[in-house]
Amino acid sequence: MSLLAVNKLCSGYDKLEVLHEVNLSVQEGEVVSVIGANGAGKSTLMHAIAGVLPVQKGEIHFKNERMNNVPTYVRIEKGLGYVPQDANIFPDLTVQENLEMGGFIVSDIEQKMEEVYSYFPKLKERSNQYGSTLSGGERQMLAIGSALLTSPELLILDEPISGLSPQATQSLIESITRINQSGCSLLWVVEENPRATLAHAHRVYLLSNGELAKEGTAEEFLADENFDKLFLGQHVEDTCA
Q: Encode pLDDT of 197-231 as tens digits.
A: 999 999 999 999 999 999 999 999 999 988 877 77
Four-residue CA torsion sign, 52, 57, 62, 65: positive
Sheet holding 211-217, edge to edge: 80-83, 154-158, 185-189, 31-35, 203-208, 211-217
- Mean pLDDT value across the chain: 92
Q: What is the DSSP letter of 3?
A: S
Class of domain 4-231: alpha beta
pLDDT for res 238? 37
Q: Encode pLDDT of 18-69 as tens digits.
A: 999 999 999 999 999 999 988 999 999 999 999 999 999 999 999 999 999 9
Q: Cβ distance 85 to 43 under 8 Å? A: yes
* pLDDT of 3 higher than 90: yes
Q: Cβ distance 139 to 131 under 8 Å? A: yes
The answer to pTM > 0.85 is yes
* pLDDT of 13 higher than 60: yes
Q: Cβ distance 23 to 7 under 8 Å? A: yes
